[in-house]
Copies of this chain bind each other. A is one copy, B any other.
Amino acid sequence: MRESGSKATQIHTHQPSGKTKLDRRTILEAGADFIDQHGVRELSMRRLGAALGVEAMSLYRHVPSRENLLDGIVELIMDQLYGDPEVYLEPRNGWQDYLFRLAHGLRRMALAHPRIFPLVATRPPEAPWVRPPLRSLRWIDSFLGALTSSGFRPEAAVAAYRAFSSFLLGHLLLEVAALGAEIGPVETDDGQAQETGDLSEYPQVLQLQDLLSEDRSADEFEESLENLLERLGTLIR
């Protein structure tokens, strides 16, 4: 499995015992888990090493720096999209279905890793045309191919790509931020859960407080996505 050298070296698994042999892949996975559980702020090389039962410096045999580690984690998470059976690399039922599935796949990814998604969103991309949250050339190529093969002119496909990115980025970032607000900063533990400040200066907010607190993100996502798809439809040749 997993590929690599695999010539004749693979005759006997040398360490079938407990300790899962250090490895870039295992480090990235452990890093992702760590961030899921404790947040990026808490992730230090020493702590991640400890989580793997290893000294901090050992990680540097497989990962050149902390920055690169974070990039690797982002890439690892993004790769989950390939494993999502609901998302297709090629359009099978038209471009709308393709985009619909892609958007929902990305949303699932963001909601599965709310502490990691901000990294996906803000880490500097490797090329100017790589726009978060679609940070992989392979997916971008797939995206553009899906649209051009469905009758979009090149300009329209690119415009659609841009509109799609910024819609997803905005919506998902706010959605995971709202999630994080409940889970996030370890509770302010000075008594109880952050007293709602004095809103008497803000009558509208005060009055609409209930509506504002309501979580309609799933519906809003659906509606906005639908609207976006309609709008993109008008770009078609």
Contact = CB atoms under 8 A, between A and B. Distances in A.
Contacts of A125: 177, 181
Secondary structure class of chain A's binding surface, majority of residues: helix
B224 A124 contact: no
Interface in A156-213: 157-159, 161-163, 165-171, 173-174, 177-178, 180-182, 184-185, 196-197, 199, 201-205, 207-209, 211-213
B174 A141 contact: no
A137 B177 contact: no
Interface string A124-145: 1111110110000110110011
Contacts of A197: 126-127
How many copies of this chain sit in the oligomeric assembly?
2
A158 B52 CA distance: 46
Interface of A: 118, 121-122, 124-129, 131-132, 137-138, 140-141, 144-145, 148, 154-155, 157-159, 161-163, 165-171, 173-174, 177-178, 180-182, 184-185, 196-197, 199, 201-205, 207-209, 211-214, 216, 220, 224, 227, 231
